[in-house]
Amino acid sequence: MSSTVALSHAKLPRWAPALVGVVSLAAAGLPAMLLGWGLFAWLVASVLLFLAALPGWSLVVEGRRSAVDRLMTGLVWSAFGVAVLPLVWLIYVVVDQGAQAINGEFLTYSMRGVIGDEQGGVYHALIGTVFITLAATVVSVPIGILTAVYLVEYGGRSKLARWITFLVDVMTGIPSIVAGLFALALVVLIFGPAFRMGFGGSIALSLLMIPTVVRSAEEMFRLVPMDLREASYALGVPKWRTILKVVVPTAIGGVITGIVLAISRVIGETAPLLVVAGATDGVNFNLFDGRMTTLPVFIYSQYAQSTPAGYQRAWGGALVLIAIVMLLNLIARLLGKLLAPKKA
Amino acid sequence: MTATLNPPEAERSEKPASRRGDRIFAGLARGAGLTILLALAAVFIFLFVEGWNGLNAEEATYRPATDFLGYIGPLILSTILAAIIALIVAVPFAIGIALFISHYAPRRLATPVAYVIDLLAAVPSVVFGLWGGRYLADLLQPVHVWLHDRLGFLPFFGPDPASPNGRSLFTAGIVLAIMILPIITAISREVFAQTPRLHEEAALALGATRWEMIRYAVFPYARSGMVSGVMLGLGRALGETMAVAMVLAVTPVATLNVIGTASPATIASNIALNYKEATPSRQSLLIATGLVLFAVTFAINFFARWIVGRNERKQAKA
């Protein structure tokens, strides 16, 4: 009798993972009910049980290699599940706690003269956030876009262009507190050691914002088809007008999306503003003189008070801040869709 | 004859006008690029000028230590410990999620998952700090006790008692892990997705399971990309300020114990906690520690980006 080599081996049925899943949930549910575990402990126990049971079954039926494969599949899926947990929990807590703090007074009053358990609000911090972030945007957008133009249209493969690309990437990793210290050193050197101003915060934020703007604008300019530029050159249009009238308008949707995302990144920065713009209880409309509180700094200083009222206000501020950040993200996405070049 | 000669002449006469606009615009663009390089150099120079006095000031400035090394030593220790905890926790998860997005998840699920992870990066650090200090610390407190009871013989978990409120370097490290997860995931995901399709299909055709395909085709290809992703995460963890400042209970005494009642602050959080002491000498001391932090994170980022760039150049050649 000639024996034949089997070309296929035993496999678990397609519904095996689902079955093991249900069984693990049930099996972990029994001690969970008897010992009064929480929902969290029950889920953890079921996942562990699943990770042991399915590879175990597979080991018996399919062999070692498949068992390892199934174990890894299970681990990869649970890694994803575990990572989503903190995000969901954090957002739930912020919304739950923040909603209790927010009302009309909270949004329209500053903290001037607020003592003890009086309500107080974030008005001054909102003003500070808007002013400082806008100033940072005004500084970084022209520099960022012009640099992107240089990299795509003029730099080519020159040494300078390659160094700029590289250092811009490196800059994205600068700790924000270092940007704050730089702005502080600058302000202190020019105006003296005790001077603080909101614009110092804008300088620090621009340092953090410019790399993001450059990278997104550069990417968008590179997507503009060469044909469009060549068609423009063929009509005798000079290069700079081609860039302004053809390249930039074509890419504008992506560029604006990138800018809004960059704003949403820096609007939550705390450390640099804490160091250079300081904190104050009152409203300050002057970017160039005096301390200016922003929303993140407000949250931090309320938290640092360690009183129930302080925590309450910190959560309220956190909800407002998260809402602003998410809104900016949403706007960025919408603008990206609306301003995208029409496809023929 | 004249008809053929005219056009070049006309072109020549128009050239100077258009060229001037071009020169100005090109100059502006190049100037903007140079501004960025100048700004980066300025960061170094200003921190150096302002921080120089902090390196050898009067002894009283360094209280409770007596010199610069004594002052920054415990801070460096804490910074490194927190970053190591963050990496140990974040790297396996980040690589798992990156694999999930690039190779495991059904296509319809992959995009939303990537979006959710990016959302994690959008949460401001101060909110992470608030949540870490008020909620996560409470949740992790029993873990502190457990670690102390079981592994108390290790210098990291003993011999001092475990923190009663969970506001330890351990909790701070976990918060940092959550914060650096997105960057490591993003970079790993990109390199995983770049694995040549043919390598993967060849592995599968030889009978490899999906995990074997990933181990023998994807990981070797993506190794340097993963390393640079981890280094970028390390850079973030070293420089993160608010989350640590808000979670950690601080003492200036150096200790290896990461679950004790208090640890030294990290370099970055120390700056945030002490910026109010505005005496000029103290201020230069803080700026000097900031210079050290900047130099270290700059070197790490420089190296990580260099690895990424080398990889891209290699691929461009192949």
What does the pLDDT look like over A243-279, one tens digit per residue? Answer: 999 999 989 888 999 999 999 989 999 999 988 887 8
Q: Is the pLDDT of residue A213 over 90?
A: yes
pLDDT of residue B45: 92
- Asked whether residue A115 is domain-assigned, the answer is no
CA nearest to A81 within chain B: B97
Range of the domain at A38: 16-100
Beta carbons within 8 Å of B108's beta carbon, 6+ residues apart? none
Q: Is the ipTM of this complex over 0.90?
A: no
Q: How confident is the model at residue B6 (pLDDT cuts 50, 70, 90)?
A: very low
- Chain B residues close to A270, C-beta within 8 Å: 124-126, 241-242, 272
pLDDT of residue B22: 87
pLDDT of residue B305: 87
Give yes or no: residues A149 and A240 share one domain. yes
Q: Which two tokens stand for residue A31?
A: 């001690």
- Asked whether residue A93 is domain-assigned, the answer is yes
Give me the residue from A179, A265, A303 closest to B246, CB to CB.
A303
What is the share, in percent, of chain A residues with pLDDT greater than 70?
A: 96
Q: Is the pTM of this model over 0.80?
A: yes
pLDDT of residue A2: 53
Give yes or no: residues A213 and A150 share one domain. yes
Instruction: Tell me the average pLDDT of chain B.
Output: 86
Nearest-CA distance from A270 to chain B in Å? 7
Instruction: Give φ, ψ of B73 to 5 degrees.
Output: -55, -60
pLDDT of residue A221: 93
Of B56-60, B107-111, B168-172, B237-241, the poorest mean pLDDT is in B56-60
Beta carbons within 8 Å of B228's beta carbon, 6+ residues apart? B187, B304, B305, B307, B308, B311
**Which residue ranges form the domains of chain B, and what is each CATH number?**
56-317 (1.10.3720.10)
- C-alpha A116/C-alpha A177 separation (Å) is 31
Residue A41 and residue A32 in contact, taking contact as beta carbons nearer than 8 Å: yes
pLDDT of residue A1: 47
Q: Is the pLDDT of residue A342 over 70?
A: no
What is the CATH number for A271?
Answer: 1.10.3720.10
Q: Taking residues B257-264, what's their average pLDDT? A: 85
Q: Is the pLDDT of residue A190 over 50?
A: yes
Give yes or no: residues A181 and A266 share one domain. yes
pLDDT tens digits for A137-163?
999 999 999 999 999 999 878 899 999
Residue A28 and residue A45 in contact, taking contact as beta carbons nearer than 8 Å: yes
- Asked whether residue A258 is domain-assigned, the answer is yes
Give yes or no: residues A273 and A141 share one domain. yes
What is the share, in percent, of chain B residues with pLDDT greater than 70?
A: 93
pLDDT of residue B5: 46
Give me the residue from A65, A93, A186 closest to B46, CB to CB.
A186
Instruction: Give φ, ψ of A290 to 5 degrees.
Output: 85, 165
B interface mutation test: which of A240, A269, A299 has the most B CBs within 10 A? A240
pLDDT of residue A344: 47
- Chain A residues close to B122, C-beta within 8 Å: 264-265, 268, 325-326, 329
User: Total structural domains in chain A?
Assistant: 2
Beta carbons within 8 Å of B114's beta carbon, 6+ residues apart? B101, B189
Q: Crossing angle for the helix pair A159-171 and B280-317, nearest 10 degrees?
A: 120
What's the start-to-end Cα distance of chain B, in Å?
52
Q: How confident is the model at residue B2 (pLDDT cuts 50, 70, 90)?
A: very low
pLDDT of residue A79: 87
Give me the residue from B25, B211, B287 closest to A69, CB to CB.
B211
Q: Taking residues B115-125, what's their average pLDDT? A: 86
Q: Taking residues A285-303, what's their average pLDDT? A: 89
A interface mutation test: which of B111, B180, B214, B242 has the most A CBs within 10 A? B242
Q: How confident is the model at residue B10 (pLDDT cuts 50, 70, 90)?
A: very low
